[in-house]
Structure formats: structure tokens, C-alpha cells
Structure 1
Amino acid sequence: MGIRVRVKLLVEGRGVETVALVNSGFESSEPDICVPLGLAKRLGLWPPVSFESEEAMTAGGEVPLFRLPARAEVQLLAGGEVKSSSPCSIVANPYIDEALLSDYLIDELGIVPISFRRGLWRHRSDPEGAVRESEEPQYWK
């Protein structure tokens, strides 16, 4: 099932709410959110004026990624409130259909996985026994 959380991605005065997969296998040295092209288009970032291209090794093999120059902020939404926020970098991936949070960004947002299989998590500010359920996936074309 995986853990999916509701986030709001804010870029250059625009904001889009979406559901993102908490992907501990997406290892990064900075707070990255990987977005499908449909979400990048909705944010007005695709096609980009400029970008840095990089290759990434994924479970499906090596794929090209596009690091977009826009600086962004991501807010973690839960229970009708903003639980936390973090600046982030946006990486566009033409081979995915949902937003992915990197391990770095997961930590910055204070997401504490309880069970990936059951889709259970809590926020670091929640009481110790609190358990939150995963959101339904949101796919972008």
C-alpha cells in the first residue's frame, strides 16, 4: 500500500494540493520532491525555460530527471491544518504519475512511518500513540 500524505506545493505564488508517496528509497542529499510532468505543468513549470538534466538509478533502471530552477516550499497537511513545511527542490520525472518525497524531505517534514504496508504514520509533534492513515493515491497525467 505505501504511505501517502497530503501536501501543498507552493511555487512562485502558485499552490497546488496533491497527495505524495513517502518514498524512503528516494535517497537525496537535499529536500527533493519528484513530480510527474502533469503536476509540473499545473504549477507552470513545464516546459521549463531552463533545467539541469541528471540520470538517476531507479528500480526500473536508469532514467533522465530534470532538476527545475524554481525554489519551492512544501507543506504537510493533516487533520485540516499545516503540520509542518520545508523549502524543497523540484525534480521532474517523465516516468512517474504521482509525487514522491525524498528521504531528506520526509525527515524535514517530520513524517514518522509506523507501517509502510498498512500505510500508517504519525507526525513528530503527534502524541506517541497517535496513528494517521494514508491518503488515497492521486495520479497525474
Structure 2
Amino acid sequence: MEAVALANAGFEADSPQLLVPYAFLVRSGISPEDLGRPSVVEYDTAGGPVAMYVYRGACRVAVVEQDRVSREVEADLVISPFEREALMNDSLIEELGVVLLSPRSGLWRFVDDPPDCTRRSYRPQLW
């Protein structure tokens, strides 16, 4: 399945993690039971601590662009009861070879793109 995800370098973890809203699962027809047994992990957020379900190694993530596709990375799937966007953490961003050039403007490139290559982010996909 394809979805737009925000590269959030401030979302830090030791392993690659893709955070998705619970609505993402519902609209995608994915049952939490099919993902295995989750861990419950407390995350520090801007709004305070939030407990979320984490399914270790439950997904494979790649960046899909018109001219290329990154390598696939195995990631933990984090289910958020509050977030409305999918978020990639710092470890996943790095493993996918994404370099953030100007985060506010949405400019980035792959680590092996030519230095003059600048890519633009997609519009947010809210769930």
C-alpha cells in the first residue's frame, strides 16, 4: 500500500519506525490481530506522554518517486490513537537514504542523488 509519510527527524528511536494513525489501519482493511502481538510503549510527545502499540518489524517501507524507488527497510509499526499523518522516525529516514535539505519548505534528496538534485515533498495525507 502507498501512503505519504512525514519525515520527522525529531521522532527519535534506536530502530526504524513508521508511526501510522489508527484510522490508517481501518481504512486499509488491516486488522491489528494480523500484525502479531504488540508491545505497549510510552512515547514523549509535545502533548505529553502517550502509550502506543508497537509491532516490531511488522512492515517494509520504501520511498517511491517517479524516477526511482529506494531500497526497502524493515520497520516497527507504531499505531497512534491521536496522530493524523504517517510519520517516519530518524532511524527510518536515515536507513531509506533520505537527506532533509530544508524541512519547512519540504526540500530533500536521496543521499546518492547528485548534489544539485532537489526533490519536493508531497502534500500531507491526513487519515
Question: 1:43 Cα deviation (Å)?
Answer: 5.3
RMSD (CA atoms): 1.7
TM-score, normalised via structure 2 length = 0.90
Return the offset for 1:49: 5.9
1:89-108 maps to which residues of 2 (within 5 A)? 89-108=76-95
Structure 1 position 30 matched with structure 2 position 1: no
Matched to 1:113, the amino acid is L
**What residue number does 2:2 align with?**
17
Aligned length: 125
The answer as to 2:65 corresponding to 1:78 is yes
1:73 and 1:133 mapped to 2: Cα distance?
A: 23
Instruction: Kindly provide the amino acid, as one letter, of the partner of residue 58 in structure 1.
Output: T
TM-aligned CA distance change 1:69 to 1:24, over 3 Å: closer
Residues 29-59 of structure 1: CA distance to partner in whole angstroms, max 9, x if unpaired? 0011011001123151436663211111111
CA distance in 1, matches of 2:117, 2:31: 37
Between structures 1 and 2, the one with greater strand share? 1
Structure 1 unaligned blocks of 5 or more: 1-15
Identical positions, percent: 35
TM-score by length of 1: 0.82
- Once the two structures are overlaid, the 10-residue window that deviates more, 92-101 or 39-48, is 39-48
Q: Is the 8 A contact 1:76 1:83 kept in 2?
A: yes
Map residues 105-116 of structure 1 onto 2, 5 A cutoff. 105-116=92-103
User: Between Structure 1 and Structure 2, which shows a larger proportion of helix residues?
Assistant: 2
SS at match of 1:129: coil
Moved over 6 A (4+): none
* Structure 2, gaps ≥5 residues long: none
Given candidates 52, 56, 65, the residue that maps to 1:65 is 52
For 2:32, the equivalent position in structure 1 comes to 46
- Measured in 1, the distance between the counterparts of 2:90 and 2:12 equals 5
Displacement of 1:80 in angstroms is 4.7
Which stretch shifts more, 35-44 or 95-104? 35-44
Q: Secondary structure at the match of 2:3?
A: strand
